[in-house]
Amino acid sequence: MSVLLLLALSVGSALAGESPTATAPSPLPSILPAQFAGWHISGSIQTSKDPAVADSVNADLLKEYGLTDFESGTYTGEDGRKVALKAIRFADASGAYGAFTYYKMPQMLKESIPDQGSSLNERVLFYRGNILVDAVFEKLSAMSAASLRELSQALPRPAGNAGNLPSLPAYLPKSGYVKNTAKYVMGPVGLDKISAPLSAQLVDFNTSAEVAMGTYQTSGGVATLMLIAYPTPQLAAEHLRRIDAANQPNAQPQSGSPIAIAGPMFDKRTGPMVVIATGVVSQAEARALLSAVNYEADVTWNENTYQNKKNNLANLLLNVFLLCGILIVFAGVAGLAFGGIRIFFNRILPEHILHREKDADFISLNLSEGQDRSPIPR
């Protein structure tokens, strides 16, 4: 009876779409530690998955970058100083890097905190993997940056490809670049907040496009260089045609102006990227900026390196030596067998079968110099 009852419960759970062995997904590890580098948490760590709790003004932007959860807390040091920490975890490192570029201000100074860090007065901003940390000290000291470096090592790291940074910002040229102006955008909300020269309609984030933008010093002022990466070169070529058509003087805007900045605009395509230069820039300087961006395909072919007996290098060398030994032994045995057979037949067969009956006559010509060469008398 009990067996029938268990069977009925199993069938009922299967019909309800539930597996009796199903387990709940493991929760994410906590972001902030209870202590680090002599700092101890004061009170408790607040947690939330609501982007508005992390930043009520930029909640939509954080959601676009892929916010998963948020933690904050106040820590007290051994000398009584306090620091307020806010840690935002994203789905991958691209989201953390994008949020870092958005919050980073041009006047900030670079800090040696993994993966990247910047500071302004008592505020220090850095990201590590897929986590962005915003620290506000009550009073800075010479050990503040060292403390945050230790904190960065204590943060949980993302698994697999989630820790890979986006490659698009690396294509921004270094010459003439205005520091702390690089921005990385993954959607229309971020594009609108950085005052990009193109609208989200022309960029078309529905095609999984991503944008990197930077400011450059020119002879007449500053210029903006915008990189748009698409999944394929064909999509990039199609969107470049749309951008060129929208930039024509007689172009009819549909829903608002697709070109956000008036003035000359120069563009080109390189691989799956569209490159656009606008602002106070001459044609020669614009062409120089565009020519500095060239797509290079980086293809990596990964194959599994097996370590079993069949694919082991040491085992291969051992087999080579074994084969050489077998060939040497075979050659020796074959030589002994051939010689033994000859001796055996020499003993059992008559002499005239294996050898000549008599030595063959040797024909020689007597051509010595002292020989008489007179004609033979007849």
Q: What is the pLDDT of residues 251-277, one digit of tens each?
A: 665 555 566 555 689 999 999 999 999
Only one residue has tokens 């999944």, namely 231
- Please enumerate in sequence order all residues whose Cβ is within 8 A of that of 285, keeping only pairs 6 or more positions apart, or say none: 218, 219, 223
With CA atoms as reference, report the closest residue to 79 among 169, 140, 29, 13: 140
The rounded distance, in Å, linking the Cα atoms of 195 and 203 is 13
- Asked: is 29-165 a CATH 3.40.1000 domain? The reply is yes
Are 148 and 135 within 8 A, CB to CB? yes
Report the length, in residues, of the chain.
Answer: 378
Decide if pLDDT at 26 tops 80.
no
The rounded distance, in Å, linking the Cα atoms of 276 and 301 is 32
pLDDT band for position 21 (50/70/90)?
Answer: very low
| pLDDT mean over 292-317 | 74
* CB atoms near residue 258 (< 10 Å): 20
Q: What is the pLDDT of residues 161-219, one digit of tens each?
A: 999 999 999 999 999 999 999 999 999 999 999 999 999 999 999 999 999 999 999 99
| pLDDT mean over 317-344 | 88
Residue type, 25: P
Residue type, 54: A
Cis peptide bond N-terminal to 115, omega within 30: yes
Are 37 and 78 within 8 A, CB to CB? no
The rounded distance, in Å, linking the Cα atoms of 335 and 333 is 5
Q: What is the pLDDT of residues 94-147, one digit of tens each?
A: 999 999 999 999 999 999 999 999 999 999 999 999 999 999 999 988 889 999
| pLDDT mean over 138-160 | 93
Lowest mean pLDDT among 186-200, 259-273, 306-320, 340-354: 340-354
Are 223 and 216 within 8 A, CB to CB? yes
Amino acid 368: pLDDT:
64
* Residue range(s) of every CATH 3.40.1000 domain in the chain: 29-165
Amino acid 356: pLDDT:
52
The rounded distance, in Å, linking the Cα atoms of 158 and 92 is 7
Decide if pLDDT at 375 tops 80.
no
- Output b/e per residue, 306-319; b: 16+ Cβ within 10 A: eeeeeeeeeeeeee
- With helix as H, strand as E and coil as C, how does 142-187 read? CCHHHHHHHHHHHCCCCCHHHHCCCCHHHHCCCCCECCCCCEEECC
The rounded distance, in Å, linking the Cα atoms of 143 and 30 is 25
Residue 61: DSSP 8-state: H
Amino acid 91: pLDDT:
97
With CA atoms as reference, report the closest residue to 287 among 307, 304, 266, 270: 266
